[in-house]
Amino acid sequence: MIRQPDANTNPYVPIIMITGHTEKKRVLAARDAGITEILVKPISAKALYQRIVNVILNPRPFVRTKNYFGPDRRRSLNPNYVGGERRNEERDPLIPQPALEKAKLAE
């Protein structure tokens, strides 16, 4: 519930998620919930340190769309990309986030 653009707490706080869930579906869901970095267990001190350094030295801008608020999920620009604009939510909807939807309804 940190990633609420109008929350009283700092909605831009970096979130480094450490998880044993390795299913791609869950990792993508976490990304679409607005986490900054994800580490899949087992983790090493070096891997965690690199993420912390990255969060501090290379912060990504935040993106706010109709259905997403969080760090830019594009970490690099691909000059060879020729597809459509995927920020168009109607054409390319996000993975549904039941927990977030529920929270929005409860507001």
Partner 1 sequence: MPTCDGEKVAIETFADYQIIRPPNTLREKVRVTADDPVARAEAAVAELSPHFASWMDAECDCLDAARASAHASGLTKSTAAALLHAAHDIKGDAATFGFPLIAEMADGLCRLIESAREPSQIPLALIDQHVDAVRAIKREQSGEEASRIASRLREELDRASAEFLGAHESAAAQETASPPIVP
Tokens 């309804």 sit at which residue? 105
> Cβ distance 13 to 36 under 8 Å?
no
Positions in 2-21 near partner 1 (CB under 8 A)? 5, 10, 12, 14, 19-21
Would you mind telling me the total number of residues written for the chain in this entry?
107
Using CB under 8 A as the binding rule, whether residue 82 contacts partner 1 is answered as: no
DSSP state of 19: E
Positions in 31-70 near partner 1 (CB under 8 A)? 37-43, 45-51, 54-57, 59, 61-66
CA distance 41 to 45: 12
Residues that bind partner 1 (CB under 8 A): 5, 10, 12, 14, 19-25, 27, 37-43, 45-51, 54-57, 59, 61-66, 72, 75-76, 87-89
